[in-house]
Amino acid sequence: MAVAQPTVGAAPRKRPSRWQTMWKSISIVFESRVATIGMAMVLFWVLLAFISLFWTPYPPNATDFVQNLPPNATNWLGTDHLGRDLLSRLMQGTQVILLKTRLPFANISFPIGVAIWGVIGSVIVGAILGLNAGYRGGWWDQITMQILDALIAFPVIVLYLVVIAALGQGDLVVILAITITGAPGVARLVRSLALDIKTRDYIRAAETRGENVWYIMFVEILPNARGPLLVDSMLRVGYAIFAIGTLGFLGIGLPPPDPDWGNMVNEARKSIFANQTAVIWPSVAIASLVIGLNLFADGLREELTRYQK
């Protein structure tokens, strides 16, 4: 039998604890095989990132070994063209994407990685624009969406180059670049959700209460858009990782000293005749994390939109 429904006049049931309700909402992931596999892939990298905070096999930037070694017993994944341990560098490379963002001045980092901050940025900007366009409609809608459509029409790489050329390299600049390229897409999604939600009676009720426009947009509409928005952001984290990889490959991504997957691919490419395997590891890392996020998001979307009783 399915999950029991609360019924009227039923004997007073014990309210489920917070942990139980949380577990219930997480357990939805396991309903879908796709989402479970995706989550496992993502968790693998998150775990690796956490481990690398405290321990890597060797210091990632130490040039302790022979150059361009293939995988062997000491260096499981081999070494690069400067004789650095690839496994250590791969592990450390997860940090900037998922766990920390480095500030340009001093030597300080703050938590949560560049890819995720970039997505948070585009969701915030996109939500504000999309809500205004969708709920207010009329000229707001026309002007906002025309500008955003124009922005979408630019090739993304060109946009990245423009931002980085104007502001220089750095973690914050990459975040800004991801925000600018991601916001129009989020805005479109939020707008379409807002257009639908604003026709509901509870929005009429808020209006007949004389609520402020911002209250209606952020308190009445936005929370009901969270499902699709969550799934979309997860996909976007994948795209952001992709974008960081691309920028790194072009040599304009995250600055050293921390290793960057895209940059690792680029450097290994140069010595591909000496060591064929070195190019594979960072590529597989990028691909598996992005695919993991995609599978997770897809499975979750399917499960969330499925009929449930």
Partner 1 sequence: MAETRSPDNKSPVLKLDNVAVAYKVRGGEIEAVQNVSFEIARGEAHAIVGESGCGKSTVAWAILNFLGANGYVKRGSIKFLGQELVGKSGEELRRLRGDQIGMVYQDPMQALNPSMRIGEQMKEVLTVHRGMSDDEAADRCIQMLERVYMPDAANVMKRFPHQISGGQQQRVVIGMALLNNPALLVMDEPTTALDVTVEAAVLDLIAELRRDFDTAIMYITHNLGVVARVSTRVGVMYAGEMVERGAVEDIFDSPQHPYTQGLIRCVPKLGADKASSLLYPIRGRVPPPNNRPSGCVFSPRCDYVEDRCRDERPQLREMPNRTWVRCHFAEDIDPAKWTPAEDITVPEIADGDGKKDIILQLDGLRKYYEVQGSSLKDVFGMGEPRYVKAVEGASFNVPRGSTLGIVGESGCGKSTLIKTIIGLESSTEGKAEFMGFDITTNLDDRNEKLIQELQMVFQNPDSTMNPSYTVFQQIARPMRRFSTVPREQVRSEVLKLLEAVRLGENYLERLPRQLSGGEKQRVGIARAFASRPDLVLADEPVSALDVSVQAAVLNLLLDVQREYGTTMLFIAHDLSVVRFFSDYVAVMYLGQIMEIGPAEAIYAPPYHPYTEALLSAVPIPDPNVKQKHIRLEGAVPSAISPPEGCRFNTRCPRRELLPDPDICLTTPPWRETDDGHRIFCHHTLETLSSFEPVIETQSKKESQYAS
Report if residue 24 touches partner 1, rule: CB under 8 A: no
How near is the Cβ of 165 to partner 1 at its closest, in Å? 42
Report if residue 25 touches partner 1, rule: CB under 8 A: no
Report if residue 257 touches partner 1, rule: CB under 8 A: no
**Cα 117 to Cα 171: distance, rounded to the nearest angstrom:** 10
DSSP 8-state secondary structure symbol assigned to residue 96: I
> Is residue 109 packed enough to be buried (19+ CB in 10 Å), middle (13-18) or exposed (0-12)?
middle
Q: Which of 204, 251, 269, 305 binds partner 1 (CB under 8 A)?
A: 204
How near is the Cβ of 278 to partner 1 at its closest, in Å? 46
Q: Which of 47, 202, 287, 305 binds partner 1 (CB under 8 A)?
A: 202
How many other CB atoms sit within 10 Å of the CB of residue 150?
10
Report if residue 309 touches partner 1, rule: CB under 8 A: yes
Report if residue 9 touches partner 1, rule: CB under 8 A: yes
Report if residue 26 touches partner 1, rule: CB under 8 A: no
Report if residue 1 touches partner 1, rule: CB under 8 A: yes
Q: Which of 20, 40, 157, 200 binds partner 1 (CB under 8 A)?
A: 200
Buried b (16+ CB within 10 A) or exposed e, 261-280: bbbbbbbbeebeeebeebbe
- Give CB contacts under 8 A, 24+ apart, made by 101-106: 101/171, 101/172, 101/175, 102/171, 102/258, 103/171, 103/172, 104/170, 104/171, 104/172
Report if residue 211 touches partner 1, rule: CB under 8 A: yes
- For partner 1, the binding residues (CB under 8 A) are 1-9, 12, 15, 31, 200-202, 204-205, 207-211, 220, 223-224, 226, 306-309
